[in-house]
Structure 1
């Protein structure tokens, strides 16, 4: 009898140990499979209808592009909550450029990226220079960017919109282009994250900044590079966001910061970064989040209830991902 109990307890402890070691992957893939199964049932298969797939892709390209960049910031233990405001400001500048250049998209993309990178450089320079938490500096950037967009809109007598949207058609309704863009971005960012010094050093900083510095990592420089890369991705995402509406208002990009955070957490991204950070968290998490959001709406759930459900799921996943040894730092730096 004692031998049987020992075997059972040994098997149980091995199962618990396996779950603990691989909970990141369990959260990633089980969450995605669960969301797909539930909403395929609730929508009678309409979740993956041809028409809804186009909607999913248009939603996915924005959030995926953002989270691919955010993964580098989160991997070194940082956090950004300014992304929605930066998207709004970048979209505003891109709109004016398109109107000044008779609808030319390339100059608008370059300006959008430049504005976004500037915002993220300001963010990390303040963090590095004054030793502030990344959330504090990004909060400042958020207020500044959102304030500029709100002020410009309040001073404008007309709606701020792109006069000639022909150039944005490719970014709005060309499904093969959107899928191809996402595939290329995923491949490029996966290579950068897994096979270059930038990704490896960011993860090393997330584990232990002091140890990384003593190993020769230029911590501040690496963080700047991560924020510049994130800024580039947010600038690209702003163009895709602009293509969907063709205009910019005070509410443009509102809520995107939480969308990005929830997507990353659903993908199993640890809040404190480190060696266990995965670029797949951005990819799988974005798919899961978009399917969850779209599926709830298709199932007829009230908008306010959708936000509540997402909030509850977010808290559950955060609880599962931050249960680590007390000696390890959990809060973003």
Structure 2
């Protein structure tokens, strides 16, 4: 009798462990998403003796978060249908340069913000037009945009007699020093992103395209239109983010926006995003991932790690997380 009870108990424990492993495997992206955030937050809270949440450092984190958060939420719509964008750094640089010229010409902040959005949207609509018209992989089209925008900025900076900078920095005070505006902007963008991605036809169609473009088309989804809308949303967000980016330095150089492409990808991966897109895509990947990456950058600098080592640490973490997230069946598609 005791042996039977022992066997039944062992079977129950084995069944419970099996169910737990199946649950973990099925929800590994969510597990990575929140465990990464908790781990990073806890580690740097301990290492900084609580200074991570000091008033001064929280203000710094919010300012650092603004650019990456807005960009990542916008590009989530592009990544969700399996496309990858690497032009964001060049677009930010070009947009910042044109906004600088606009402000220096005497335009108001409102007009400059509209100009930023128009320029960014134009770049992203050109991006998807090239991909659709010539049937190219989206990453190839974004590569063309990246080289073009970066080339224009480099030429303008190298041929300018003086540095390209905002002459009256007070015009950007709303984006540089008004934390209430920054926090409100982040909250509004998060809510809009969640509603559009989770509860609107836009988000559902993008995820359907990410799963299977042909099946989505046969189900009545206009695949090209869906992609154009996602790039339009990305362009609006990135144009708005460029105002926060310019407000951090007030100057445009060849290196403006450099590295943002990889920061977006690392943030999404830390947020548990499957880069192949599809129904498993979650807007929370953009929100949680960008917060995690900013905390990681900020925490490493707080404890005295040199900037070049910070990039190395991010690269190592990226590879580790990618190893767990991108292990997929052979039948699953790779990012397009």
Alpha-carbon distance in structure 2 between the residues aligned to 1:216 and 1:93:
40
- The structure having more radius of gyration, on CA atoms, is 2
Counterpart of 1:167? 171
Candidates 15, 30, 39, aligned match of 2:35: 30
Please say if residues 133 and 332 of structure 1, whose CA atoms lie closer than 8 Å, have aligned partners that are also in contact: no
Alpha-carbon distance in structure 2 between the residues aligned to 1:179 and 1:41:
26
Instruction: Confirm or deny that 1:119 pairs with 2:114.
Output: no
Alpha-carbon distance in structure 2 between the residues aligned to 1:121 and 1:167:
29
Candidates 53, 65, 74, aligned match of 2:58: 53
Instruction: Confirm or deny that 1:76 pairs with 2:81.
Output: yes
Please say if residues 134 and 332 of structure 1, whose CA atoms lie closer than 8 Å, have aligned partners that are also in contact: no
Deviation at 1:134, TM superposition (A): 1.4
After superposition, give the CA deviation of every residue in 1:52-82 in whole Å (9 maximum; x if it has no partner): 1111000101000000101100110011001
Could you tell me the TM-score, scaled by structure 1's length?
0.97
After superposition, give the CA deviation of every residue in 1:167-226 in whole Å (9 maximum; x if it has no partner): 211101111111011001111111111111110000000111110000000001100110
Candidates 204, 218, 231, aligned match of 1:200: 204
After superposition, give the CA deviation of every residue in 1:255-309 in whole Å (9 maximum; x if it has no partner): 0111111111111111111111111111101110000010011111121211111
Alpha-carbon distance in structure 2 between the residues aligned to 1:271 and 1:66:
16
Deviation at 1:9, TM superposition (A): 3.2
Provide structure 1 residue ranges, at least 5 long, that are not aligned to the other structure.
Answer: none
Instruction: Confirm or deny that 1:315 pairs with 2:319.
Output: yes
After superposition, give the CA deviation of every residue in 1:18-54 in whole Å (9 maximum; x if it has no partner): 1011112111111111111000011111111111111
Alpha-carbon distance in structure 1 between the residues aligned to 2:199 and 2:38:
28
Instruction: Confirm or deny that 1:106 pairs with 2:110.
Output: yes
Provide structure 2 residue ranges, at least 5 long, that are not aligned to the other structure.
Answer: 1-5
Deviation at 1:12, TM superposition (A): 2.4
Instruction: Confirm or deny that 1:332 pairs with 2:327.
Output: no
Instruction: Confirm or deny that 1:64 pairs with 2:69.
Output: yes
Alpha-carbon distance in structure 2 between the residues aligned to 1:50 and 1:259:
25
The runs of 4+ residues in structure 1 deviating greater than 4 Å are 1-5
Please say if residues 83 and 257 of structure 1, whose CA atoms lie closer than 8 Å, have aligned partners that are also in contact: yes
Coordinate RMSD, CA, aligned: 1.1
Alpha-carbon distance in structure 2 between the residues aligned to 1:187 and 1:6:
46
Alpha-carbon distance in structure 1 between the residues aligned to 2:254 and 2:328:
40
